[in-house]
Structure 1
């Protein structure tokens, strides 16, 4: 298994998982970067996994369906009009030879999901490096509970968020925890990576335990306070 980041839309990543039997694409917000990525590669069956309904995660589907006959799409209830198969938290989906666990991840959207298998987590916008998505639903409890589920995963779980937001997120984290050596170190590393034009992902659950302010919030009230501060940071 190989996992590749396909840049799209300025700061999105479309994650591509290359398996012997086929390819899985997570949240294709644009078709052209995916099709460019596939040029010259061996033709394989392709599957799309959607985490939520926002256009920057789904906007490439029409173009991909035209270019990749037989493309199958899995996604939550909120993308039902785009899905071949709807999934929900608690489901186990078998794709190629992989059994993928679906985690309910509401908060950013009402019915968002994440995908977990073989120690790899694809949370869409539910979790970023040192951050989490805006709570567009207004249901802060749902987003807080989603992060609590992520926090229960093993430290070595690799996390593949859908956006390159790490630098700004860590600047915000430092404003909340100015004495944290872990955050200072992570911020310095991310600055160097971005100056060199490198991506800062994946991260890990263990890293997020030390540097993500929304993991570090001691309770729901503090989480809400942090999230509202981030909205205007």
Structure 2
């Protein structure tokens, strides 16, 4: 996927999903020749853009400890001197400031304040960063907790934890940009269409997402409002979703959490 980014000297924050590894996105935000990156699984794609556009890397934000999210952090810090932020309760290869819910960071050169949310489930200490950029536009860097049409696998947490975490993200403003860390959209939507085939918003996004990928373009960021319209994991209290989960699981599923758990098990085995 080719990269073209606007003038780095702009005083507006620009947001770029940088492809890495097989299907990761490293999010880069920059303004006035200063940049930050989120979850750099490898250093080379980031360093290439920094060098090409003359950007100084001020900060590296980590959401969780998995190697495809932290693998490039040490090298990037060594080359740039960037400050590294990360979750308080996870083992990381490098971290200057350990964060948990209630903390906030201020990235002075981007005039960007980010609040920390605890969103365990995918990993035990996973965090997200929520803030507002140009003219108050909200965004959230949510790592592997929420994807377009899906959510992260439960490697270290419980369905109840993950349900609470995605509910926390669901409660963000509807126009919040969802900056997740993988291009899983088409695979997620193929499954979501099995859950809720009569969902018009889902059908429309399926067509649009296919068109974007056919052109080599990212499907991200999406928005919280859009995900609430078609992502089954944010729709556990919709009867159409709950009914599909009950039929698939053969169980009563008498709460939103049990519906969520059944959806996650269904997705885990969907081919």
TM-score band (shorter)? Answer: over 0.9
Matches within 5 A, 1:14-93: 14-20=26-32, 22-68=34-80, 70-77=81-88, 78-93=90-105
Deviation at 1:37, TM superposition (A): 1.2
> What corresponds to 1:210 in structure 2?
229
Q: Which residue matches 1:220?
A: 257
Kindly report structure 1 stretches of 4+ aligned residues shifted beyond 3 Å. Answer: none
Q: How far apart are 1:65 and its partner, in Å?
A: 2.4
- State how far apart, in whole Å, the 1-side matches of 2:33 and 2:218 are: 27
CA contact (8 A) 1:89 1:102 kept: yes
Give the equivalent residue in structure 1 for 2:121: 107
Instruction: Report the TM-score when normalising by structure 1.
Output: 0.96
Please give the per-residue CA displacement for 1:104-150, whole angstroms capped at 9, x wherever unaligned: 11000001000011001110001101111001124111100001111
Matched residue SS, 2:116: strand
Distance 1:116 1:150 in 2: 9
The secondary structure found in structure 2 opposite 1:107 is coil
Match of 1:98 among 98, 108, 112: 112
**Which of 150, 153, 156 does residue 169 from structure 2 map onto?**
150
Gaps of 5+ in 1: none
Q: CA RMSD in A?
A: 1.3
The answer for unaligned runs of 5 or more in structure 2 is 1-12, 133-137, 238-255
Is the aligned partner of 1:229 residue 2:266?
A: yes
One of 112, 126, 130 as aligned partner of 1:116: 130
Q: Which residue of 2 aligns with 1:131?
A: 150
State the secondary structure of the residue aligned to 1:117.
Answer: strand
Paired residues in the alignment total 232
Q: Counterpart in 1 of 2:244?
A: none
Aligned equivalent of 1:179: 198
Tell me the TM-score normalised to structure 2 length.
Answer: 0.83
